[in-house]
Amino acid sequence: MIIDEFIEKPKILSLFANQRIHWSNFLTLLHLLMIKHGERKFHLASTNKRELKNLCNLADELELKWKITTGTSLFEYQKQAIPLPQNIANAIGTTHNGNAEEGLLITKDENALDSLEGSVLSDSNVGKILDYPDCCVKWYVNNKSSDWEELYAFVMEHYCEGVNTPVENIIQVMGECDANSPETRNRIKKIHVNHIAESRNTMPFIFFQPCDVCIGPSSPARKLNEKYANFAKENYPQLYKIIIDEGKKDAKYYE
């Protein structure tokens, strides 16, 4: 019943959802159902007001346990094409590391609810918690590191007066800068087309962005997608179909 009603009238459950495309809402429902069946352990979501109440209500309806867990953030930087100067990397780390980071944790087992309390909610750890392949997590961290490097280069070129600018001023300008370099825009466009749109069409049952290897055949991401797809097909055929259809709509948004 819950599933039929949700398909009829989907609610916002995901940070990635918009009012017209419900792919991420249907996929969240599927991932919660997998938790209920013991096929996945955790769902970890943002505590954004827009979806928080809907998620908690749905977890209650499915008789799952939930809590708002508090961990800490970590600046995970891996040197890419033009490495950040060490003092800049350190300064960014200082502004990020150890800050409180909240997440809505949903699980089947009451005892597992406290298991993440106080842990480091870095991209790598969140990837592990959510069963994402290591290669895709690493690729994501590398992309985010490139974001930082390109932002630093852009800020130095356009807003700062040379190498004598105090580090705290550079960090402040980086924090306020809402423009992207053409290099960043190109890279992100490629990720949207080659990874996000591509995977919505070919791997609509996973949330994460597949890495360069995983976009190819018989990869870890493909295997996970197949596992989740089979679960949906066997247990919730209507949900299976609508995730594929909505995935195609979502792909168009990124193409």
Interaction with Zn ion in 66-125: which residues (CB under 5 A)? none
Residue 159 or residue 207: which is nearer to Zn ion going by CB?
Answer: 207
Tokens of 16: 């990635």
Return the residue of 33, 174, 211, 251 that touches Zn ion, per CB under 5 A.
Answer: 211
Binding range to Zn ion, per CB under 5 A, among 97-105, 119-127, 154-162, 211-219: 211-219
3-state secondary structure at position 62: coil
Residue 110 or residue 212: which is nearer to Zn ion going by CB?
Answer: 212
User: Residues touching Zn ion: how many (CB under 5 A)?
Assistant: 5
Interaction of residue 215 with Zn ion, rule CB under 5 A: no
Binding range to Zn ion, per CB under 5 A, among 7-15, 92-100, 178-186, 209-217: 209-217
Residue 69 or residue 146: which is nearer to Zn ion going by CB?
Answer: 146
CB 131, min distance to Zn ion, A: 12
- Asked if 98 contacts 121 with a C-beta cutoff of 8 angstroms, the reply is no
Which amino acid, residue 39?
A: E
CB 193, min distance to Zn ion, A: 17
Separation between Cα atoms, residue 153 and residue 97, nearest integer Å: 22
Tokens of 119: 């842990």
Separation between Cα atoms, residue 102 and residue 230, nearest integer Å: 32
CB 213, min distance to Zn ion, A: 5
Interaction of residue 203 with Zn ion, rule CB under 5 A: no
- Asked if 42 contacts 8 with a C-beta cutoff of 8 angstroms, the reply is no
Long-range CB contact pairs, 47-50, < 8 A, 24+? 47/102, 47/103, 47/104, 48/15, 50/12
Tokens of 66: 């939930």
- Asked if 63 contacts 56 with a C-beta cutoff of 8 angstroms, the reply is no
Q: Taking the alpha carbons of 236, 59, 248, 221 in that order, is the dihedral positive or negative?
A: negative
Residue 140 or residue 152: which is nearer to Zn ion going by CB?
Answer: 140
Residue 105 or residue 214: which is nearer to Zn ion going by CB?
Answer: 214
CB 219, min distance to Zn ion, A: 6
How buried is 208 (Cβ within 10 angstroms: 0-12 exposed, 13-18 middle, 19+ buried)? Answer: buried
Residue 81 or residue 213: which is nearer to Zn ion going by CB?
Answer: 213
Residue 82 or residue 193: which is nearer to Zn ion going by CB?
Answer: 193
CB 15, min distance to Zn ion, A: 21
Interaction of residue 196 with Zn ion, rule CB under 5 A: no
- Asked if 199 contacts 219 with a C-beta cutoff of 8 angstroms, the reply is no
Return the residue of 214, 215, 232, 243 that touches Zn ion, per CB under 5 A.
Answer: 214
User: In which residue are the tokens 């827009």 written?
Assistant: 50
Interaction with Zn ion in 120-179: which residues (CB under 5 A)? 133, 135-136
Which residues sit at the interface with Zn ion, rule CB under 5 A? 133, 135-136, 211, 214
